[in-house]
Structure 1
């Protein structure tokens, strides 16, 4: 019986096989990806033990897929270089496009998670995050997507060898034209971003603009801010105007209490102690005023008509300034009348003499009538 000789296995030739190297590279990439996923899972568990908001957990979970995909794509690129099945430039561009898409999607989701965490912290009252609400969150959400999309398109065009210089020039010209045509709108938009970031006012605050307009902020938009006056009239103020005008926020500070000054003048002959005993009792029980903040009666000095005083009280709601003035002034008038104290007013005596006085006297005082 004839026996065929068994050929010795050429190990070096087998290891030099491109197919075996490609397969080994893919298997190694899968193992590395699994190791990275396991490491990230452990990091997730440690982060969950340290923090309670879950932001680190979500961010690390979002990074697992793009990191694993990156390892696999690198292995595929290396395998393609060994096998030479397709054009290497085309393979690099295709795999690079996959990486751009995967990482862009991960970045958008990560930005959404960060925005959600910031909004939750703003609702809990964390300092410095008052601008994270409503349209501000929507704007950041939109801008993140636009930036990621444009950056991804640029990278894809570079990967496929497209000429991006013409696109850059066109985008620059279009941006210059739009900026010149909509400079007022852009100014209002930039001012809105500064208002959200600096947060000099918030929705619900009572403000005074340039000492002339008073009202409550009802909405802060990207073009204008809406203020509702005490007369029930809504005024739209361009955001660029708010960036240049003097704004007094009566709702800012440790509390919303705003001091009112009600001045009045009484006749001579009264002392400040007497006036305090007459006016101050009963102020704490008046509506529209803060009962926990004591009222003051200050003597401001004499005038030509009498003694000038000022009653200082605090409003409970800055938006009801006119109502508070009405209540305080009415209390002053009632208290003075009950005590028999008269308000002083200016009076002037006019003395007329000479020929003009004689003519006026003759015209006003009739002479004796003659009998006919």
Structure 2
């Protein structure tokens, strides 16, 4: 190894935080009665390291197998399943953290802290950070979803703000984890941020569309024009149920069970009609038609109201209503309006209502007018009789 390489390794080791000096010796943690026997084990560094690692492996196994199982049985007595899921998510991280702590203490107590062995501790600490980060990402999303599903206790957090809070929590967790990992390896984050400013300008020009989608996603999550499960209509013609609101795009499921992914930049610059918005999720449908000029309008209104009241998918409240809209070419324009529980029922309900109206009008002798044309053949004086043409 050259002098330059050795100097670089020494410089890197000097910049890193020396965790080995901050950790207590394993022998100091043992009772005084055991220390004389442990001093004999210390004469064999490899045996000492394997013994410490085995003890921590046994401790990790006990925690994962027995302690976690006891906590799961206790959590089953609660009314919610959130604590059960959290405990289950902690099973693997607890095992990994305890095991890697054992690696650190074993190498430190056995004296493996110089040269290449000096990287064992930073590697182990990095693995601990990764295990904690992975568990934190899962638990944060689980807790936020549980809170948003309980609006009675947490009024400021609902299903509309759930995607935004999940994304923000993940960003914060990743930033903290990245900072901890950099500090473990002795890398100054301030220097990286300074150089990232120049790189950010170049990336901004190269990925302006992607950045536009990201910023639009943040505005959509903050402004909350729609939420998961809402039915929306786009000005470009797409209509469907919102299944995912991401930082870059929104996904909707159409009535044909086709998932459409729309970039948030497109949604941010388009008109969006939220059929599930308003004070409640109910939606009013309109069935336009015409009745004959000779019909009794009171009877028409009564028949249409009866159709609405007998339909199982039309709500009793708000009540259905009939409105005459004007005089058309073939008859009087009329609309039957009723409320349905969910926007996704619109097509099916209109289909059945039209069939019921047609049957009700036929049973009550009411006519549904349609355009008619009468053709008249007029003979002009002076025309030859058709019989004169027979030769």
TM class by smaller structure: 0.5 to 0.7
Structure 1 position 199, deviation (Å): 2.1
1:309 corresponding residue in structure 2: 334
Can you list the C-alpha shifts for 1:272-319, whole angstroms capped at 9, x where unaligned? 212112222142221432234322111112222111111111122211
Change (3 A) 1:164 1:286: closer
Task: Indicate the residue corresponding to 1:318 in structure 2.
Answer: 343
- Residues in 1 aligned to 2:234 and 2:150: alpha-carbon distance in whole angstroms: 30
Give the match for residue 130 of structure 1.
159
Unaligned runs of 5+ in 1: 1-100
How many residues matched? 261
Look up the SS of the partner of 2:220 in the other structure.
Answer: helix
Question: 1:216: how far off?
Answer: 1.0
In the alignment, the residues of structure 2 paired with residue 275 and residue 187 of structure 1 have an alpha-carbon distance, to the nearest angstrom, of 54
Query: Match for residue 259 of structure 2?
Result: 234
Any residues of structure 2 matched to 1:280-319 within 5 Å, and which?
A: 280-319=305-344
Q: State how far apart, in whole Å, the 2-side matches of 1:366 and 1:147 are.
A: 102
Contact 2:330 2:371 in 1 (8 A): yes
1:220 counterpart residue number: 245
**Considering only aligned residues, what root-mean-square deviation do their CA atoms show, in Å?**
4.0
Q: Secondary structure at the match of 1:293?
A: coil
Runs of at least 5 residues in structure 2 that lack an aligned partner in the other structure: 1-125
Matched, 1:121 2:150: no
Instruction: Answer yes or no: is the 8 Å Cα contact 1:206–1:249 preserved in 2.
Output: yes
TM-score normalized by structure 1?
A: 0.58
- Structure 2 CA distance for partners of 1:315 and 1:112, relative to 1, 3 Å: closer
Among residues 325, 328, 337, which one is paired with 2:353 in the alignment?
A: 328
Q: Does 1:206 align with 2:234?
A: no
Moved more, 290-299 or 302-311: 290-299
Relative to structure 1, the CA distance from residue 111 to residue 268 in structure 2 (aligned partners, 3 Å threshold; closer, same or farther) is closer
Shift of 1:164: 5.6
**1:291 & 1:201 partners in 2: Cα distance?**
27
Looking at structure 2, the residues matched to 144 and 259 of structure 1 have their Cα atoms a distance apart, in angstroms, of 43
Q: Which deviates further from its counterpart, 219-228 or 121-130?
A: 121-130
Distance verdict in 2 for CA 1:216–1:229, change over 3 Å: same
**One of 285, 295, 299 as aligned partner of 1:260:** 285
1:68-147 to 2 correspondence within 5 Å? 118-125=144-151, 126-127=154-155, 128-131=157-160, 133=162, 136-147=164-175
Contact 1:287–1:327 (Cα < 8 Å) also in 2: no
8 Å contact kept, 2:161–2:224: no
